[in-house]
Structure 1
Amino acid sequence: MTDQNHKGDQPAQPTDSGSGNAPGSGADGQPESTGAPTEESKSGGDSGDTDPFKNAAQFDADFPDITTDDAIDEDLVEMVEVGVRLQAERDEYLDLARRVQAEFENYKRRVEAQRVEQRARAAEDLAQELLPVLDAGEAATSQGDEHAAALHTQLLITLEKQGLKKVDEVGIEFDPKIHEAVLHEDGDADSPEVSEVMRTGYLWNDRVIRPAMVKVRG
Structure 2
Amino acid sequence: MSDMGDGDLYDPDDLSDAELAGTASRSASDSAAAADAASASTTDADDIPERQSELEDIDTLSALDFDTPEVGDAEAEIDWSEVDVPALLAERDEFKSIAQRVQAEFENFRKQANTRAQADADRATGRLAEAFLPVLDAAEAAFLRHPDEVGPLLNQMLAELKKQGLETLDLDGQMFDPEVAEAVAHEPVNGGEPSVAEVLRSGYQWKGKTLRAAMVKTTD
| Alignment TM-score > 0.5, same fold | yes
Match of 2:211 in 1: 209
How many angstroms apart in 2 are the aligned matches of 1:99 and 1:147? 63
* Equivalent of 2:89 in 66, 87, 90: 87
How many angstroms apart in 1 are the aligned matches of 2:134 and 2:157? 12
Match of 1:153 in 2: 155
Match of 1:30 in 2: none
1:84 Cα deviation after fit = 3.2
Superposition RMSD on alpha carbons, in Å?
2.1
Amino acid at match of 2:182: E
Q: What is the TM-score of this pair, normalised by structure 1?
A: 0.58
Q: More helix per residue: 1 or 2? A: 2
How many angstroms apart in 2 are the aligned matches of 1:116 and 1:130? 21
Match of 2:122 in 1: 120
* Equivalent of 1:129 in 127, 131, 146: 131
How many angstroms apart in 2 are the aligned matches of 1:172 and 1:85? 71
How many angstroms apart in 1 are the aligned matches of 2:101 and 2:216? 55
Deviations 1:128-152 (A, max 9, x none): 1111110011111112175544332
Deviations 1:25-46 (A, max 9, x none): xxxxxxxxxxxxxxxxxxxxxx
Q: Secondary structure at the match of 2:92?
A: helix
Q: Secondary structure at the match of 2:167?
A: strand
1:1-218 matched pairs, under 5 angstroms? 79-81=82-84, 83-144=85-146, 146-188=148-190, 190-218=192-220
Q: Secondary structure at the match of 1:171?
A: coil
Structure 1 gaps of 5+ residues are: 1-74
89-98 or 159-168, which moves further after superposition? 159-168
Identity %: 43
Q: Secondary structure at the match of 1:191?
A: coil
The answer to whether the 8 A contact 1:167-1:212 is kept is: yes
How many angstroms apart in 2 are the aligned matches of 1:112 and 1:144? 45
How many residues matched?
142
1:111 Cα deviation after fit = 1.4
How many angstroms apart in 1 are the aligned matches of 2:166 and 2:191? 31
Deviations 1:161-210 (A, max 9, x none): 22222125322211111110111121125211111211111112221101
Shift >3 Å, 4+ stretches: 145-150
Deviations 1:80-137 (A, max 9, x none): 43x3333322222111111101111111111122222222222222211111110011
How many angstroms apart in 2 are the aligned matches of 1:115 and 1:195? 41
The answer to whether the 8 A contact 1:168-1:212 is kept is: no
